[in-house]
Structure 1
Amino acid sequence: IEDFFQCFQISCQGATSITTFAIFLCDKIEPALHKAVFERTAKDIAEDMQGKFPDFRGNRANLEVSILRYLAEQENFEYFKQYLTSPKEFFQSYIERRVKSHCLDESRRLEKFLDSSLNLLYGNILSAVSLSTQIVKDKKDREDKISLWLDEFCRELAEVINLPRSELKGIEHQEVTDIEFLSSAMKTALGDLRDRLKKELADADLSSFSRQPHTILAEHFSGCWEKCRFCGAVCSNTMQNHDGDHQVVFHRPQALTGFKWHGTDHFIIDICSSLVASDCTFRFHDDQQWTPYKKYRDAGPPVSTWNILPDSSMQAYWKWFVSNFRTQLEALYNKKFQGKGEIPVAWQRITKQEALSELERR
C-alpha cells in the first residue's frame, strides 16, 4: 500500500508538472496567437472586399470611377473639395469608409472574420501539438524529449504564428517523460486559451488592428499621386517614382484649381490638353515670365515633368460638376464664371446620369 501511494504521489507530481508546463507554454503562445488572428483577419477582409465589391476588383482607374460615382450621388461639395485637393487621402478615406460599412454592420461580420481566423489558427496549433507528439514519443532512449518536442512544435508553427524557440529555453529542461499526457494537457490548455480569446475578440473593433484592413486594400491601388499643376488631375501611372513623364488620360477644366484669365476674375474653363494646342500663355506667379502653353515645358518643374498631348475632348462629368457647383466654386476661389469663363449652355443641359454613363463607358 505504501508503494502504491508513493507511485501515486510521483504520478500526481508528474501530471502537475506537465499541466504547469502546458499552461506556461500557452501563456507564451497567447500574444503571438492574438497578433496572428488580427493579421490574418485584416488580409481576409481585404480579399473578401476585393471579391465582393466591383470598386476593388480592377485597377486604380476603375476605383476612381467608383469614387466619382459616389461623389456625384452624395452631391456634397465638401467631399468634392477634399477629393480635388487631397486625392490620395480621399481614396484612403473612401476605402476605409467602405471597410467599416462592410465589417461593422448589423451582421457582425468583423466578429465572424475574427472567429474564423482564431479557429483556423487554433486548428493549426493543435496539429502542431499532434505532429510533435507523434515524432517524439517513439524516441524512448532520449532524455531530452521535451527539448525535442519544443523544437518540432516551433518548427511546425513557423509559418502560422511567431513563436521564437529561444523564448522557451526556460522550460525545455522540465522532466517531462509522458509525451502523450503532454499532448492531452496542451489540448486542454489551448481550449481554455481559445475560449478566453474568443470572449476578448467579441469586443474588438477596427482600432484593434495594428495594420488596418483598409491599409492593405489601399496598397493595391498605390501608384503615382503627382497632380497636374494646371488642373489637378492625378497621374495615371501605377508605379511610384516611375520613369518618364507624368500623364493622364483626361485633363479637367482649370477652374477646378482656381485658374483665371489674366487681368480678370474670370475662371478658365478650358482643359490643359486643349490649351497646349492654342496660342495662349500662362504664368503661375506675377514675377514669372509668360510661357506659351505650346512650350509649357520651358516653364520648368513641375509642369516640365508632364506629357500633355493636344486633345480637345473633355469628360462630361466635369462639365456637369462645374455647372452643378458653380456657386460653390465661385465662393471658394472668389472668381466668376463670366467672360471667357462663361459656362456653355450645352454643359448646363448635361444630367448627372449622362455624366456617369459616359464616365463608366470609358
Structure 2
Amino acid sequence: MSQISCQGATSITSFAVFLCDKIEPALRKAVFERMAKHIAEDMKNQFPDFRGNRANLEVCILRYLAEQENFDDFKKYLTSPKQFFEEYIERRVKSHLDGNGRLKEFLDSSLNVLYGNILPAVSLSTKIVKDRKDREDKISLWLDEFCRELAEVINLPRSELKGIEHQEVTDIEFLSSAMAKSLTDLRNRLMKELADADLSSFSRQPHTILAEHFSGCWEKCRFCGAVCSNTMQNHDGDHQVVFHRPQALTGFKWHGTDHLVIDICSSLVASDCTFRFHDDQQWTPYRTYRDAGPPVSTWRILPDSSMQAYWKWFVSHFRTQLEDLYNKKFQGKGEIPEAWQRITKQEALSELDRL
C-alpha cells in the first residue's frame, strides 16, 4: 500500500485524496445498491401490479395477457410461470425507467443522500478527535471514528486504511476542509461518470429485488398446470390453489381419443373418472388421486366445480392454437360448451378482478 511522506498542508491534502480514492468504489457500489432498492420501492408505490401479494400480481399479468392476445406469451406463462413473472416485472421496470430521465433522478438522489451522510461523518470525527490531548495518534483515532460513522452508509473496511493511519496530521480542522474539498471532487466525478449508467450497471437488478417480494412456491399442478398459491418456498403441508384450470391447458386427453379434457381437476376428484400419466402406469381413480404418488400426492385438491370465466374464454378464443400445440381436438367429451364461447374478454376480466 502506498505511503504518504510529504508534510504539512501537502500531506493533509494527499491524505484526503488517498482516502477519497478508497471511498470511491465503496460509494459507487452503495449508490447502485440504494438505487436498486429505491427503484423497487418506487415501482410498488407507482403501479397497482406491485402493491399487493403474488395473487394480485397474477391477476394483473392475466389481464395483460388477455389484452395482448398473444398466444406465445400465454404459452410461456403456462409452461414457465416463474420465468414469465420475472420477465414481466423486468419489462415493467425497464419501461418505467426508459426515456424519461427517471434513472438519472434516482442516481442523483442516491448519490446526494450518501454524500450527505459522508460529510457529517467527517465533521463528527473531527469534532471528537481535535480536542483529544491524550492521544498522539490522532489520525488513527480519526479514521476509527470515520469508519464507524460510515458503517451504515458504505462498506469502507478500516483495515484498508492502514497505510495512512500513522500520518502526523496535527491540524485536524484543516483535514476536515481538505476532506470536504476532495469529497466534492469525488461527487462531481461520480456524477459525471454515472450520467450514462443504465440497468446493466447494477450488480443487483431492481427487478430482481422486486421479484423477491413475490417469491413463494412455484410448484405446478401435474394435471392442469396451476401454480401453488403458498407464499413460502419449501412450505410445510400440501400444495394447493384456489382455482384449478381446464386440463386441456397441459394437453390432457381422454383415453383412446385425441379429445382434449376441458374439465378441471377439482371437479374430476368428485367424479368416477380415472387417470394415468404414462402407458405403463396403473389407472388411478381421481377420487383417490394421492394413491398415484408424487407429485400429485403432494397436492390437496378439494372437490369444487367452480371454474374461472377467464379460462373458459381463453380455451374458446385460442381453440385452434391449443389444438395445434397438442395435436389434439376439442371434440367429443372435450367439446367446448356454447356458453363458454359467448363469454367476452371483458366479462372474463371483470370476474377476475372481483375474485
2:350 alignment counterpart: 357
Q: Distance in 1 between matches of 2:230 and 2:132?
A: 60
Q: Which runs of 5+ in 1 are unaligned?
A: 1-11
Q: Which runs of 5+ in 2 are unaligned?
A: 1-5
1:13 is displaced (CA, Å) by: 4.1
Q: Is 1:290 matched up with 2:290?
A: no
**Residue correspondences, number:** 350
Q: Which of 201, 207, 218 is equivalent to 2:200?
A: 207
1:111 is displaced (CA, Å) by: 1.0
Q: Distance in 1 between matches of 2:226 and 2:135?
A: 70
1:143 is displaced (CA, Å) by: 1.5
Q: Is 1:98 matched up with 2:101?
A: no
Q: Which of 8, 18, 21 is equivalent to 2:12?
A: 18
2:3 alignment counterpart: none
Give aligned-pair identity as a percent. 88
Q: Is 1:132 matched up with 2:132?
A: no
1:267 alignment counterpart: 260
Q: Distance in 2 between matches of 1:140 and 1:149?
A: 13
Matches within 5 A, 1:150-165: 150-165=143-158
Q: Is 1:311 matched up with 2:304?
A: yes
1:60 alignment counterpart: 54
Q: Distance in 2 between matches of 1:257 and 1:64?
A: 19
Matches within 5 A, 1:2-81: 13-81=7-75
> Secondary structure of the equivalent of 1:202?
helix
1:162 is displaced (CA, Å) by: 0.3
Q: TM-score with structure 1 length normalisation?
A: 0.96
1:142 is displaced (CA, Å) by: 2.5
Q: Is 1:144 matched up with 2:137?
A: yes
> Secondary structure of the equivalent of 2:21?
helix
Q: Which of 85, 103, 108 is equivalent to 1:115?
A: 108
Task: Describe the superposition over 1:153-201 as per-residue Cα deviations: whole angstroms up to 9, x where unpaired.
Answer: 0000000000010110110011111001100000010001001100111
1:342 maps to amino acid: E
* RMSD between aligned residues: 0.9
2:212 maps to amino acid: E
1:291 maps to amino acid: T
1:108 is displaced (CA, Å) by: 1.0
1:140 is displaced (CA, Å) by: 3.5
1:107 is displaced (CA, Å) by: 1.8
1:51 is displaced (CA, Å) by: 1.1
1:87 alignment counterpart: 81
